[in-house]
Amino acid sequence: MAKSVRVGLLGLGTVGTGVVSIIQRHQKELQHQVGCPVEVVKVAVRDKTKARNIKLADELITEDIEEVLSDPEVDVIIEVMGGIDATKNYITRALQQKKHVVTANKDLLALHGAELLKVAAENGCDLFYEASVAGGIPILRSLSDGLSADRITKMMGIVNGTTNYILTKMSQEGSSYDDVLKQAQELGFAESDPTSDVEGLDAARKMAILASLGFSTNVSFGDVSVRGISEVTEADLYYCEQLGYTMKLIGLAKRDDGRIEVSVQPTLLPNAHPLASVHNEYNAVYVHGEAVGETMFYGPGAGSLPTATAVVSDLVTVMRNMRLGVNGQSVLVPLHEKVLKEATEIESQYFLRLNVIDKAGTFSTITSLFAEYEVSFEKLLQLPIDGEELAEVIIITHKTSKENYENLYQRLTNVEVVDSVQSSYRVEGGK
């Protein structure tokens, strides 16, 4: 093995700065782990003049990515610059030049992960991406190594810290969505354009990666059913609490008899469920395997050093593989053909909030509709609305198929006794 492993870095933002910091500060520990030093020999940035709170020699920093990709001295490329199309090209070229790659780019992997892993295998290179899901939580390594002997049947988790922070504050403080979003932006937990987070897109990309690895199949971003939290109201959260539930933006990947479903949506969890107690910007992933049963992984889902720790852990794995001469051999081709469930095969409970005409016969009409679509009540609240000839009805259903529930929902929006359907959410973790 070489006297040192030489690293080229694409990007020196929040995560890139953390990576350099860990490599510099933990050099003794890294050498102990892999038996040789680690050197950052070239870093590509957009603007060399930008002030950064990290010390790097000027000659190591370049605005020309080609200097990093084509440098024969670089053994490993660490990509933390983001982007999709151009970045895919950079990573492909690096792998074709026999350079190993570590990336934190969930957007790229959710769209092109299978293709890039194929290129890595063809060139005998490692491509690792632990930091792309749940920041500092080692969930991907746990699936690929620690739980590799098991058959994973379900993964359910909070994989976006921004939305978890917003829902936590709305629930605990009774604040509106808009007020908490503004607060999250001021604290740096949400971007100025929060769409990717609050509409569930960020979480969906992560769930595509988790499902692909956990189920050994090629799940893409387009296979994930997505709904965000922007329509969640204080009233929804109040009634959740009254009925003994907590709302979270939940990513769910479930496999039954080889058929899978993957979704991201606001979901009610019983207060006793482990994920219900995960608050603020923290992430957690709940995994069920046929042999191990239930396990949960919890920790910070983002931030410079937690995410950088996952990146450097992947770097350590690359270096160990270099020492053993087994680079590229851990890339696994998907074992199973992807078969997505139909709406008739997806079963869940649901929360439904209606404003109905407060008169005799209304409840009989609603009950008849539920019976027609074979949906039954588990819990029910009915409250008059002050000053109006309306009542609010809040229902938790028993398990039913997605198809039956969606058909029922459409009928309820058109029936005369229902003034409006206020909200509807999935319920998990119950009977």
Confidence of residue 333 (pLDDT cuts 50, 70, 90): low
pLDDT digits (tens, 9 = 90+) for 305-330: 888 999 999 999 999 999 888 888 77
The pair of structure tokens assigned to 289 is 């395997």
> Which residues fall within 8 angstroms of residue 252, CB to CB, at 6 or more apart?
154, 155, 156, 207, 261, 262, 263, 264, 265, 267, 428
31-87 tens-digit pLDDT? 888 888 999 999 999 998 888 888 899 999 999 999 999 999 999 999 999 999 999
Q: Identify any residues that bridge with 270 across adjacent strands, giving them in sequence order.
A: 245
Alpha-carbon distances, residue 274 vs 91, 160, 289, 416 (angstroms): 38, 16, 17, 41
* Secondary structure of residue 54 in the 3-state scheme: coil
Average pLDDT estimate for 96-103: 96
Taking only the tens place, the pLDDT of each residue in 146-167 is: 777 789 999 999 999 999 999 9
**Given 88, 106, 169, 206, the catalytic residue:** 206
Whether 402 sits among the annotated catalytic residues: the reply is no
CA angle 395, 396, 402 (to 5 degrees): 110
Measure the CA–CA gap between 326 and 346, rounded to whole angstroms.
Answer: 41
Q: Could you give the domains of the chain?
A: 5-135+304-324 (3.40.50.720), 139-300 (3.30.360.10), 347-427 (3.30.70.260)
Name the pTM for this structure: 0.89
